[in-house]
């Protein structure tokens, strides 16, 4: 019996073995992995493998000839130890429906599933249940809608979408992506949203936590990947959203029309197809245009990146403008200028 060892990115031979193992077990190799490890037999061939990316375990496979030897237990033990070292104690994974039981035996609990495809799990018995319970305290009677946004940064376009959704419903649950994924920190994005919607009394602001559009549910939102992966992630994300909507009594989801970002366009497409199946209306709101120009956070970041923030000032509410003019925004501005790609792919 072998032991678990790291598979280094530049170890081409072992990586080729890992690719072959994943292919044989019908698992797609994720493009974005931080760390990989495997178990080798006495001849040095790879018989089990697993990887991680941030707080998620990925690409877990055991060779079909070595089932029932407890190899997955070794791989997951090793990866969990590594996750703790990296500072992640709340860990997620998704797996094919037929393999869910293996991970449920290893201390993972189901969050949501895409029927006949995959199951999304976390290593906390009450993780998602607690998140839902906290949300439930903000449940309101009447027609409720939801918007999920990154607000990177908050523009008049976001304001327009929120106003639209809030005016057509009794209450609007506004979810702000809480994952740190760009040069504008979450605390700033949140502050700008809060200031930007302060006068709208029927809007309730939430954080998405690790459950909506996070690198656990939707890794391809943050890092480039194939369309098939984006669709699969979107499907899972919407299965989780369905549970959240049920707790809040949300019957409609609003989103801005998307023309420039590929991944967001595919996400909207998925919402249009899948949300009605869960009894949730999907409403795509045309983009706000000012003076013939379409307002978009991508355009705002691009202009800052190119060193022409004055060109997009008209797209920003007073609160966002005030923030960028202030001294505290200086490091954020220079981080945007240093980005390779300011637009969302």
Partner 1 sequence: MVIQKPAIAGTLESSDCMVTVEPGEGKIDLDLDSAVIRQYGKQIRKVILETLQRLDVTDAKITVVDKGALDCTIKARVECAVYRSNGVKDQLPWGGAIV
Minimum Å distance from CB 177 to partner 1?
24
Stretch that binds partner 1, among 30-38, 79-87, 137-145, 313-321 (CB under 8 A): 79-87
Number of residues that bind partner 1 (CB under 8 A): 17
51/320 with CB nearer partner 1: 51
Opening angle at CA 59, ends 58 and 65, nearest 5 = 140
Of residues 91 and 285, the one with the C-beta less far from partner 1: 91
Of the candidate spans 12-20, 37-45, 122-130, 211-219, the one that interacts with partner 1 by CB under 8 A turns out to be: 122-130
- Regarding 223 and contact with partner 1 (CB under 8 A), the answer is no
Nearer to partner 1, 76 or 203 (CB): 76
Distance in Å, CB of 80 to partner 1, minimum: 6
Per CB under 8 A, 107 contacts partner 1: yes
Q: Which of 76, 172, 239, 316 binds partner 1 (CB under 8 A)?
A: 76
Q: Is residue 174 part of the contact set for partner 1 (CB under 8 A)?
A: no
Contact 157, 315 (CB under 8 A): yes
Give me 299's structure tokens: 């355009």
87, 291, 292, 326: which one contacts partner 1 (CB under 8 A)? 87
Which of 97, 105, 180, 341 is the binder for partner 1 (CB under 8 A)?
105
* Paired residues of 284 in beta bridges: 255
Of 119-127, 142-150, 187-195, 216-224, the window that binds partner 1 (rule: CB under 8 A) is 119-127
Shortest spacing between CB 4 and partner 1, in angstroms: 10
- Which C-beta is closer to partner 1: that of 106 or that of 339? 106
> Mask of contacts with partner 1, 34-73, x by CB under 8 A?
------------------------------------x--x
Q: Confirm or reject binding of residue 102 to partner 1 (CB under 8 A).
A: no
CB 233 within 8 A of CB 220: yes
52 or 220, CB closer to partner 1?
52
Nearer to partner 1, 63 or 123 (CB): 123
CB of 69 to partner 1, least distance (A): 10
- Does 84 sit near partner 1 (CB under 8 A)? yes
Instruction: Rule CB under 8 A: say whether 74 interacts with partner 1.
Output: yes
3-state SS of the chain? CCCEEEECCCCHHHHHHHHHHHHHCCCCCCCCCCEEEEEECCCCCEEEEEEEECCEEEEEEECHHHCCCCHHHHHHHHHHHHHHHCCCCCCEEEEEHHHHHHHHCCCCEEEEEECCCEEEEECCCCHHHHHHHHHHCCCCCCCEEEEEECCCCCCHHHHHHHHHHHHCCCEEEEEECCCCCCCCCHHHHHHHHHHHCCCCCCEEEEECCCCCCCCCCCHHHHCCCCHHHHHHHHHHHHHHHHHHHHHHCEEEEEEECCCCCHHHHHHHHHHHHHHHHHCCEEEEECCCEECCEECCHHHHHHHHHCCCHHHHHHHCCHHHHHHHHCHHHHHHHHHHHCCCCCCCC
CB atoms within 10 A of CB 40: 18
Expressed in angstroms, the distance from the first to the final Cα of the chain is 45
Neighbours of 239 (CB within 10 A): 21
Shortest Cβ distance from residue 207 to partner 1 (Å)?
A: 19
Question: Of 5-13, 78-86, 190-198, 256-264, which segment contacts partner 1 by CB under 8 A?
Answer: 78-86
**C-beta of 73 vs 294, nearer to partner 1:** 73
Which residues are near partner 1 by CB under 8 A? 70, 73-74, 76-77, 80-81, 84, 87, 89, 105-107, 123-126
């Amino acid at each position: 019996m072998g032991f678990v060892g790291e598979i280094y990115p530049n170890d081409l031979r072992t990586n080729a073995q890992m690719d072959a193992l994943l292919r044989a077990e019908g698992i797609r190799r994720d493009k974005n992995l931080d760390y990989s490890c495997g178990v080798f037999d006495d001849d040095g061939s790879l018989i089990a493998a697993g990887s991680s990316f941030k707080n998620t375990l990925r690409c877990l496979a055991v060779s079909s000839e070595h089932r029932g030897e407890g190899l997955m237990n070794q791989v997951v033990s090793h990866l969990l130890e590594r996750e703790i070292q990296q500072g992640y104690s709340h860990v997620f994974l998704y797996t094919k429906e037929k393999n869910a039981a293996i991970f449920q035996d290893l201390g993972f609990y189901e969050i949501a599933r895409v029927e006949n495809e995959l199951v999304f799990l976390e290593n906390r018995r009450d993780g998602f249940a607690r998140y839902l319970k906290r949300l439930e305290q903000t449940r309101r009677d009447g027609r409720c809608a939801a918007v999920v946004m990154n607000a990177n940064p908050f523009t008049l376009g976001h304001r327009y979408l929120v106003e639209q959704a809030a005016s057509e419903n009794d209450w609007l649950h506004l979810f702000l992506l809480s994952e740190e994924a760009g040069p504008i920190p979450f605390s700033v994005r949140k502050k700008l949203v809060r200031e930007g919607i302060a006068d709208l009394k029927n809007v309730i602001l939430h954080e998405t936590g690790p459950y909506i559009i996070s690198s656990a549910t939707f890794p391809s939102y943050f890092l480039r990947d194939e369309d098939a992966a984006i669709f699969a992630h979107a499907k899972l994300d919407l299965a989780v959203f369905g549970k959240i909507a049920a707790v809040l009594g949300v019957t409609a989801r609003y989103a801005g029309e998307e023309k420039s970002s590929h991944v967001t366009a595919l996400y909207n497409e998925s919402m249009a197809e899948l949300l009605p199946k869960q009894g949730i209306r999907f409403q795509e709101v045309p983009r706000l245009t000012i003076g013939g120009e379409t307002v978009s956070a991508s355009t705002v970041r691009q202009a800052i990146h190119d060193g022409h923030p004055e060109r997009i000032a008209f797209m920003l509410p007073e609160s966002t403008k005030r923030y960028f003019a202030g001294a505290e925004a200086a490091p954020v501005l220079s981080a945007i200028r240093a980005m390779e790609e300011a637009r969302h792919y």
